Amino acid sequence: MRIDRISALAAVGVAGVVLASPALAASDASSSAAVANQAVASVAAPVAAAQTAGLIGGAVGGAVGGAVGGSVGGGSVGGPVSKLFNTRDSGKGGGGMPPKLGLWAQGTWVNIRKSEASLGMDGNVINTVFGVDYKFTDRVLGGVGFGYENVDIKTKFNSGTYKADGYTVAPYLGVSITPNWTADLSGGYTWLTYDVSRTSGAVKGSFDGGRWFGATNLTGSYAIDRWRLSPKVGVLYLREMQNAYNDTGTSTARNAAQGINFGRASGGLKTGYAFDGFTPFVKLTGEWDFTKPKAVLKSNGQMSAVDNGGGVAGLGVDFGGAGPWSGTVEGSYNSIGRTSLDVWQGTAKVRYQF
């Protein structure tokens, strides 16, 4: 009995030493590349996917005229801003064929700063999308977008970096529901390559991955005198997959493949005041994250914060009206109510209809 008790105590002691050993303790974001990658991708993937989906949704909005555009001079500005899918070209001669083909280009720059204890990071996400679409009828538009994204983030919590390049193909569809409401649907796939490092570059890794995403929006278009009102609700869902890989440098650890799921519902209002040829606007959007990435273990023994939602506030200018050119310049703060997170975004887009 005494020997059994001594053996049991010894086993407990050995277990305690093993659990207390830093090398064998539960992996956290500062010591595990897989955990670090999940922590960063949980922030960067929704930003990148939301940019792509938002740019495509904006392209559909450009094709249908938008809620804050429309000509002011020489005509009534009451009622709907425009009949959907008229591309703001109602001033053309009645005998001319309405334009059916549209080309567009849009880009965003986003700065991310996360100051959460033991999970600090900062960097930029740049996204450009080019597309072409065609009006099959006066109520249905279809097209395809081609995108490139670049993620470049310094991961302060592990003295490292997280970089990614992605190429996207995304078909989309726009439908006129009523004279004041349109719906758009887009989905696509992004091919991703990653380069990561930690411990001041002593440990590095490169791997591939991909991201599926789908988004749908319902957008209104109203005018009261010179005021332009555009309510909007939408849903975005994505799944990003990262392949398994080996670290290089001082470590040869195998990092398992992993997936990140994210879903967001949003709703808000964009309000503008129309002048001849341009319309300044403000917007406010609320967001609910109904599917969230998992929290990760930090080096201080705590789990990372996971938000249930937040908000976006922005301002900008829509330009163009009677001619074939139109576009938007916009700036926004995208992390109202988010925990220890600041996300600033700048957007520019231009469209030519012919």
Q: Token match 């720059």: residue?
A: 109
**CA 209: distance to chain centroid?**
17
155 to 40, 105, 191, 262, 351: CA distances (angstroms): 8, 31, 23, 21, 37
User: Coil, strand or helix: which one is 63?
Assistant: helix
Q: What is the pLDDT of residue 69?
A: 42
Give dist(CA 242, CA 240) in Å, integer.
7
Look up residue 314 and give its DSSP letter: E
Record the pTM. 0.84
Contacts of 273 (CB under 8 A, 6+ apart): 226, 227, 228, 279, 280, 281
**CA 328: distance to chain centroid?**
18
Q: What is the pLDDT of residue 322?
A: 65
Record the tokens describing residue 34, joined without a space. Answer: 């897989």
pLDDT band at 256 (very low <50, low <70, confident <90, very high): confident
Give me the amino acid identity at 89: D
Q: What is the pLDDT of residue 50?
A: 80
pLDDT band at 116 (very low <50, low <70, confident <90, very high): very high
Per DSSP, what are the bridge partners of residue 212?
189, 239
Q: What is the pLDDT of residue 77?
A: 40
pLDDT at 74 over 80: no
Give dist(CA 102, CA 88) in Å, integer.
13
Q: Token match 């001033």: residue?
A: 91
Indicate the range of 97-101, 255-259, 291-295 predicted with least confidence.
97-101
Report yes or no: 333 and 343 within 8 Å, Cβ to Cβ: yes
Q: What is the pLDDT of residue 98?
A: 67
CA neighbor of 327 nearest in space, from 141, 125, 103, 128: 103
pLDDT band at 63 (very low <50, low <70, confident <90, very high): low
Per DSSP, what are the bridge partners of residue 350?
105, 327
Q: What is the pLDDT of residue 326?
A: 87
Record the tokens describing residue 251, joined without a space. Answer: 């470590």
- DSSP states of 236-276 as a string? EEEEEEE--EE-EET--PEEPPEEEEEEEEEEEEEEEE--S
Record the tokens describing residue 349, joined without a space. Answer: 């887009």
Per DSSP, what are the bridge partners of residue 339?
none
pLDDT at 72 over 50: no
For the stretch 129-157, pLDDT in tens is 999 999 998 889 999 999 999 999 999 99
Q: What is the pLDDT of residue 62?
A: 57
pLDDT at 1 over 80: no
Virtual torsion, Cα 310, 144, 58, 46, nearest 10 deg = 10
pLDDT at 245 over 80: yes
111 to 36, 160, 312: CA distances (angstroms): 19, 18, 14
Averaged pLDDT, 213-232:
93
Report yes or no: 44 and 164 within 8 Å, Cβ to Cβ: yes
Averaged pLDDT, 74-99:
42
For the stretch 157-175, pLDDT in tens is 999 999 999 999 999 999 9
- Work out whether the CA dihedral 243, 246, 249, 251 comes out positive or negative: positive
Give dist(CA 208, CA 127) in Å, integer.
19
Indicate the range of 60-64, 272-276, 297-301, 342-346 predicted with least confidence.
60-64
Averaged pLDDT, 224-237:
94
pLDDT band at 26 (very low <50, low <70, confident <90, very high): low
pLDDT band at 248 (very low <50, low <70, confident <90, very high): confident
Number of CB atoms found within 10 A of residue 123's CB: 20
Give dist(CA 93, CA 327) in Å, integer.
23
For the stretch 179-193, pLDDT in tens is 899 999 999 999 999
Q: Looking at per-residue confidence, does 205 or 7 come out higher?
A: 205
pLDDT band at 82 (very low <50, low <70, confident <90, very high): very low
Give dist(CA 58, CA 352) in Å, integer.
13
pLDDT at 55 over 60: yes
Give dist(CA 87, CA 90) in Å, integer.
8
Give dist(CA 95, CA 52) in Å, integer.
37
Q: What is the pLDDT of residue 226?
A: 94
